[in-house]
């Protein structure tokens, strides 16, 4: 691990031009990490670019992503020219399709920087990666890189790192029993980053239409195994109609996990006919990574996801049965 980190620093120091990226439908963690590195690498005069698979959700507008990021879906003919590509918050190349193909075509060295466990069933990264599953966010890892390169923090870097850390820990709820998230945050908030404004953007921008949609969805939760397992379904089309991002569906399952009896839940976001984005959550008594991997996805032990095709009832029954089996093991 130490070796991987030192090699990573050397690779960055050696590279003249660096491309930064993260998984598709980026979240606050991957976005914050790449933007922090972007501002930091500019300081040491690297030629640096962020290229993401697809557009950034509206709630991250406060970081001005559109001014800094090239979206591959809008420029699919982009030829990547770089010495080094750093990919944050995933080690699953499938989550960067079709951009990953363009990375492979370039001569660049590719390195994953991630806190998700390596996939057991999916494609294992054959390239050198720095993976630290004890990190509560990729932002924490980006912070260590910036410190390792001895780049002083400025407001832009601090704001982006703070976004990563608060997003992935959900405002310090999920800190992996470590003081590190708080320690880094304490250093960041000494800069004028207006942390309360960031909290509001990340967690406090619920609209009336979103509340209506969530209320409707939450009214249709199905419970199993005496209320210890729940399943919820949302339509992407409904999100779109209400001017919400697909990403907003996640709030549904996070909200659900506040129910005291519940141990695990699954959210089916219908993205097309018989096409679902699954999100799985567990409070810790059972793991939900194995089922996600079985379905061709990945993630963390207690928060995972996959994209699946099939009939809703069949998929739901399959996933729910698996969750109940794991719970009773």
Give the interface with Mn ion as residue ranges (CB under 5 A).
29, 89, 138, 168
Give the neighbor-by-neighbor strand order of the sheet with 84-88: 69-71, 47-52, 17-22, 84-88, 109-114, 129-131
Give min distance, CB of 241 to Mn ion, in A. Answer: 29
Burial class of 218 by CB neighbour count within 10 A (0 to 12, 13 to 18, 19+):
middle
At 189 the three-state DSSP class reads coil
Q: Which is nearer to Mn ion, 165 or 229 (CB)?
A: 165
Q: How far is CA 191 from the centre of its chain?
A: 25
Q: Which is nearer to Mn ion, 83 or 167 (CB)?
A: 167
The tokens of 75 are what?
A: 């420029």
Give min distance, CB of 60 to Mn ion, in A. Answer: 14
The tokens of 30 are what?
A: 């991957």
Give min distance, CB of 169 to Mn ion, in A. Answer: 10
For the chain, how many residues are written?
329
Task: Determine the Cα–Cα distance for residues 124 and 295; give it in Å rounded to an integer.
Answer: 16
Give min distance, CB of 283 to Mn ion, in A. Answer: 18
Q: Which is nearer to Mn ion, 29 or 248 (CB)?
A: 29
DSSP-H helix ranges across the chain: 2-14, 28-43, 65-68, 99-105, 138-148, 155-168, 180-188, 195-203, 208-218, 236-241, 249-256, 289-294, 312-327
Q: Which is nearer to Mn ion, 92 or 270 (CB)?
A: 92
Give residues with Cβ within 8 angstroms of 2, minimum separation 6: none
Give min distance, CB of 115 to Mn ion, in A. Answer: 6
Give min distance, CB of 313 to Mn ion, in A. Answer: 32
Give min distance, CB of 279 to Mn ion, in A. Answer: 14
Residue nearest to Mn ion (CB): 29
Task: Determine the Cα–Cα distance for residues 48 and 46; give it in Å rounded to an integer.
Answer: 6
Q: Which is nearer to Mn ion, 33 or 102 (CB)?
A: 33
Task: Determine the Cα–Cα distance for residues 243 and 253; give it in Å rounded to an integer.
Answer: 19
How many other C-beta atoms can be found within 10 angstroms of the C-beta atom of residue 323? Answer: 25
Give min distance, CB of 154 to Mn ion, in A. Answer: 23
Q: Which is nearer to Mn ion, 26 or 232 (CB)?
A: 26
Q: Which is nearer to Mn ion, 23 or 201 (CB)?
A: 23
Q: Which is nearer to Mn ion, 82 or 119 (CB)?
A: 119
Give residues with Cβ within 8 angstroms of 283, minimum separation 6: 257, 262, 263, 264, 302
């Amino acid at each position: 691990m130490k070796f991987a980190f030192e090699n990573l620093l050397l690779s960055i120091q050696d590279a003249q031009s660096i491309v930064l990226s993260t998984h598709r439908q980026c979240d606050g963690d991957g976005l914050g990490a790449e933007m922090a590195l972007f501002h930091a690498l500019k300081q040491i005069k690297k030629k640096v670019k962020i290229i993401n698979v697809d557009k950034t959700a509206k709630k991250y507008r406060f970081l001005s992503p559109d001014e800094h990021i090239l979206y591959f879906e809008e420029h699919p003919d982009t030829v990547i020219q770089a010495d080094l590509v750093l990919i944050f918050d995933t080690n699953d190349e499938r989550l960067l399709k079709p951009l990953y193909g363009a990375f492979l075509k370039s001569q660049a060295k590719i390195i994953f920087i991630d806190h998700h466990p390596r996939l057991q069933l999916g494609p294992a990264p054959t390239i050198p990666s720095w993976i630290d599953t004890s990190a509560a966010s990729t932002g924490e890892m980006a912070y260590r890189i910036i410190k390792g390169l001895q780049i002083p923090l400025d407001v832009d870097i601090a704001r982006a790192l703070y976004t990563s850390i608060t997003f992935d820990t959900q405002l310090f709820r999920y800190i992996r029993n470590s003081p590190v998230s708080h320690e880094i945050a304490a250093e960041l908030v000494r800069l004028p980053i207006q942390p309360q404004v960031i909290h509001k953007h990340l967690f406090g921008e619920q609209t009336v239409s979103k509340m209506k949609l969530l209320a409707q969805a939450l009214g249709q939760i199905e419970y199993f195994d005496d209320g210890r397992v729940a399943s919820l379904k949302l339509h992407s089309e409904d999100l779109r109609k209400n001017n919400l991002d697909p990403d907003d569906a996640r709030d549904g399952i996070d909200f659900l996990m506040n129910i005291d009896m519940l141990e695990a839940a699954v959210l089916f976001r219908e993205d097309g006919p018989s096409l679902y984005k699954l999100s799985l959550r567990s409070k810790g008594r059972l793991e939900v990574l194995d089922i996600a991997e079985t379905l061709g996805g990945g993630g963390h032990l207690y928060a995972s996801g996959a994209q699946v095709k099939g009939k809703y009832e069949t998929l739901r029954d399959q996933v729910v049965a698996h969750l109940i089996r794991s719970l009773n093991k």
